[in-house]
Amino acid sequence: MNTVDFSRRVSAKIINADISAFHGLSAISNYIPVRDEASPKMLQAAYEAMVAKQQKETEFEATFKAAADAARQAEVEFHDKVMAMKESVRGQFGPNSDEAQAVGYKKKSEYKRPRRRSA
């Protein structure tokens, strides 16, 4: 029996070939497995478990994507509100105030004055 390697998934091409082989087994009427895990009953149970877990994964992916979109939207809304607050503080107290500096702006007087360049 193969050891389980969770670092990589089985490719879709191989899974589709396995599913085709499993469905092809129903055409064989005199199949008698030597190993228990190769019996049609065990194969059917493993197939149903795989499909159920794939469906659960798809549901979780959809939930995750919806949560990520909601979080992204909340981040954008928060950023917009913070920018409005900063502009409001700058408008109320002026660009050279301590209040404007407290919300993250640099005071206007702290900028270097432009110098003339000699040619």
Q: Per residue of the chain (119 residues), what is the pLDDT tens digit?
A: 567 777 888 889 999 999 999 999 989 989 999 999 899 999 999 999 999 999 999 999 999 999 999 999 999 999 999 999 999 999 999 989 999 999 988 888 888 888 888 87
The answer to whether the predicted template modeling score (pTM) of the entire model surpasses 0.75 is: no
What integer pLDDT is reported at residue 6 of this predicted model? 76
Predicted local confidence at residue 2, as pLDDT = 66
Nearest one of 109, 103, 70 to 87, comparing CA atoms: 103
| DSSP summary character for residue 29 | S
